[in-house]
Structure 1
Amino acid sequence: MTDSSSVSFSRRALLGAFAATTLTAAPTYSKAAGFLKGSGDIRRLKMYSARTGEKIDMIYWIEGNYIKDAVNEINYFMRDWRTNDVKNIDMRTMDIMAAAHNLMDANDPYMLLSGYRSPKTNAMLRARSSGVAKNSRHLRGQAADLRLASRSVNQMARAASSCHAGGVGRYSGSNFVHMDCGPVRTWGR
């Protein structure tokens, strides 16, 4: 028998309620490998875009499973804001970003400066700066340029590097860190 006064929950509302109750109980790992490979945990991304005014606070992985709707929202959020082109962001990049954020024990969101870049946007940026790669991982949805108000570029780069999972670039002059899921390497100051 069903009660006519029962409340219907959307998947998003249910995940939000789950997150509110479980985040305080979620384990804190001292190494990113534990976070990335551990079972029984959650992965979350908190970001905002000064370019679009959008914000996202999304649990995208629970106990070994990516949540398709959440991943799709992250893909849209990390789109090329100049052209509105959307590309699937490599989930390894999402995992590196989440692990680094967790390692820094930061509560504030990342500021996303650049996620996916269309070929047109990448060509325009290359024409303006010698620091933009012709075959940038941004073109493949495998990179993000991020800033965190509560942490320095060096702190962010150390956290991302400790994941031993991709490329980490320090751009101290511009106050951001590049994180990608390519070969393990570091550059910049």
Structure 2
Amino acid sequence: MTDNKASGISRRGLLGAFAATLVTAAPTYASAAGFLRGAGDVRRLRMYSARTGETLNMIYWIEGEYIPDALKEISYFMRDWRTNDVKNIDARTIDIMTAAHNLMDVSEPYMLISGYRSPKTNAMLRARSSGVAKNSRHLVGEAADLRLNSRSVNQMARAAASCNAGGVGRYSGSNFVHMDCGPVRSWGS
């Protein structure tokens, strides 16, 4: 048996390099988490909100573990800005957002259009638009509507859809993409 430590290569380092190679070589994985493997076991989410003026640059996962305080801060950031109601955002949605962002290879943070929506806000938006679902995943903290100035709606939607891990909606007229951790599906143009 070869002593990898003597050659300066650890088993973990070798596996990490192999995983990073797979991420760049493979076109799709069964879930967004697959795209995040090999990233040094660190996951970071960067966003800003034009509605509140807040910014977020948060490491929420280290060495195979979610950081509970970081997830709480993300949930607060993604609160219903109209009512200030907070709901825990599903970590699967956060992973999809992060994986899509990494696939697009951008440094620009997402602009958060909508995260959690209270029933009151969802009802108000439904009254204004036929494009708002009565049982929206926003109501349960499983969805985000996002924009990037440096990427088109189609580019963002393709990145999110390639994660094969949830719903992806294109809203070209409003210049945003919906990402959620529900069943795999897509809509819009």
- TM-score band, normalised by shorter chain: 0.7 to 0.9
Residue of structure 2 in register with 1:166 after alignment: 166
The one-character-per-residue Cα deviations of 1:75-122 (angstroms, maximum 9, x if unpaired) are 000000000000000000000000000000010000000000000000
Query: Are residues 69 and 110 of structure 1, via their aligned partners in 2, closer, same or farther at CA, if it must alter by over 3 Å?
Result: same
Q: 1:38 Cα deviation (Å)?
A: 5.0
The 5 Å alignment of 1:109-148 reads 109-148=109-148
Q: Which amino acid letter does the alignment assign opposite residue 174 of structure 1?
A: S
- State the shift of 1:36 in Å: 3.8
**CA gap 1:154/1:114 in 2 versus in 1, 3 angstroms:** same
1:35 is displaced (CA, Å) by 2.5
Counterpart in 2 of 1:7? none
Aligned pairs, number: 164
Q: Is the 8 A contact 1:104 1:159 kept in 2?
A: yes
Across the aligned residues of Structure 1 and Structure 2, the Cα RMSD in angstroms comes to 1.7
Query: In structure 2, the residue corresponding to 1:174 is in which secondary structure?
Result: coil
Distance 2:101 2:39 in 1: 18
Counterpart amino acid of residue 41 in structure 2: D
CA distance in 2, matches of 1:135, 1:83: 18
Moved more, 45-54 or 35-44: 35-44
d(CA) in 2 for partners of 1:39, 1:154: 25
Identical residues among aligned pairs (%): 82
TM-score, scaled relative to structure 2:
0.83
Q: Which runs of 5+ in 1 are unaligned?
A: 1-26
* 8 Å Cα contact 1:39-1:64 kept in structure 2: no
1:51-86, Cα deviation, whole Å (9 max, x unpaired): 000000001001210011111100000000000000
Matches within 5 A, 1:11-160: 27=20, 29-30=23-24, 31=28, 32=32, 34-38=34-38, 40-160=40-160
2:33, 2:95 within 8 Å by CA — same for their partners in 1? no
> Does the CA-based 8 Å contact 1:110-1:147 persist in structure 2?
yes
What is the SS of the residue equivalent to 2:93? helix
User: Which residue identity does 1:180 align to in structure 2?
Assistant: D
